Structure 1
Amino acid sequence: MDLFWDFDGTLFDTYPVMVKSFQKTLTHFGVTNFNSIEIYQTMRQYSLGKAIDKYRPKQTSSSIFRTSYRRVEDQYLNQAKPFDNALKVCQRNVQASGRNFLLTHRNDQAKQLLDDYKFTSLFSGFVTENDHFPRKPDPASLVYLIQKFQVNKKAAIMIGDRNLDILAAHNAGIKGILFDPDNCVLVESAPERQIQQLSELLSEI
């Protein structure tokens, strides 16, 4: 099986770091009235960009806010850890002659975290922000990996925690599994399967 993995909220539980960094950035710009749960839900249901547009002070541009946010997040990102069984599923897939691929909007920091937690050797290919593909649900990055590695679409699955991951999968002609550990997502993307624990993927391999 060829598994295409999202990073944030799928392989690694980065949302605690993201929400913490977002709150600190809001405070930096003078915003003190916010709800951390609502920020998290906006990130999960939509994206970081949507959260920025929703919560940033209107006198602060999205690009300026995002730059400040990234500076804060850089200080805490090494606190993020893999979800339970993430490494086990990747290992099992390789043992079964499958391949793992990374497909993320995050920059090469994602690859560094994979390396820190001994994932790198289990992955055959990577697309990060540094590769400058359009953002999901545009399928361009998926199509690139599919073509480069001659992937059989019938034996390929995209795993992600947001609707846009599933939509990207469908736009590229492969199946999508929605990982929603806390039942936070309003499902609008018709995933082939929805799971709450990564260990549930072992039955797919």
Structure 2
Amino acid sequence: MKKIGFIWDLDGTLLDSYEAILAGIEETFAQFDIPYDKTEVRAFILQTSVQDLLEKVGEERGLDADMLNQVRAQSLAENNAQVVLMPGAREILAWADQQGIEQFVYTHKGDNAFTILENLGLAHYFIEILTNQSGFARKPSPEAAIYLLDKYGLNPQQTYYIGDRTLDIEFAQNSGIQSINFLTSPATCNQQIEHLEDISSLSF
């Protein structure tokens, strides 16, 4: 039996957390008197990342991005109750577990991810959870994937990064692993899905 590995993104993939993320950003912006446009902010973070947004705003307004992120992280933790599962998330994790697929997380979320996954009863599905506080360069750098491949003896051809953004596909490409994503992409490593349940019908 071949060894298959799933490395999961969280926000927008397993977790429907964008409302909580946006609420945290809005509260942070209000604390520093920064104008907030929900539509513009959502589009920006979907295209790039929350970190890029905070760095851009910090540079424009002479504020420290790390300080903004600390305030945002505290606000986000207070909004954990707003984080819910994406449709089919629990079912597809259970299916993968039953198939003997080794599952991991690599997310740009902070260590608050551990609390959320525990609260939702999902943490036991994952062998290791890597966050933005694990010390790896951010996506699309392949550092985190290389670490997991080496540590767990994963085959790049049988290891899949599952995400919802172009950044996630680029991360898979740079890491030499496969991609499962909600987006279409010309990347040969990528298989597109519309729903998480579609994963169970892919060929591995």
TM-score tier after normalising by the smaller chain length: 0.7 to 0.9
Aligned to 1:151: 154
Residue 51 (structure 2) pairs with residue 49 (structure 1): yes
- Pairwise CA distance, 1:35: 1.9
Structure 1 unmatched runs, 5+: none
Query: Deviation per CA, 1:132-190, whole angstroms, max 9, x where unpaired?
Result: 1111111111111111111122111101122222111111111112235xx9xxx6866
Tell me the secondary structure at the aligned position of residue 131 of structure 1. coil
Identity of aligned residues (%): 26
| Kept in 1: contact 2:19–2:82 (CA 8 A) | no
| Structure 1 consecutive aligned stretches of length 4 or more whose deviation exceeds 4 Å | 187-191
Q: Is the 8 Å Cα contact of residues 87 and 196 (structure 2) preserved in structure 1?
A: yes
Distance 2:62 2:125 in 1: 45
Between the two proteins, the alignment pairs up a number of residues equal to: 199
Q: Contact 1:178 / 1:191 at 8 angstroms: preserved in 2?
A: no
What do the CA deviations read for 1:62-112 (whole angstroms, capped 9, x no partner)? 222222222222211232011111111111111112111111122222122
Aligned-partner Cα distance in 2 for 1:2–1:113: 22
TM-score (norm 2): 0.88
**Residue 121 (structure 2) aligns with:** 118
Question: What does residue 39 of structure 2 align with?
Answer: 37
Equivalence for 2:104: 101
SS in 2 for 1:20: helix
Give how far 1:130 is off. 2.8
Q: Within 2, Cα distance between the matches of 1:142 and 1:150?
A: 11
Q: TM-score, normalised by structure 1?
A: 0.87
Map 1:1-205; keep pairs closer than 5 Å. Answer: 1-32=4-35, 34-56=36-58, 58-180=61-183, 192-204=190-202
Cα pair distance change 1:63/1:121, threshold 3 Å: closer
Give 3-state SS (helix, strand or coil) of 1:10's partner. coil
The Cα RMSD (Å) is 2.1
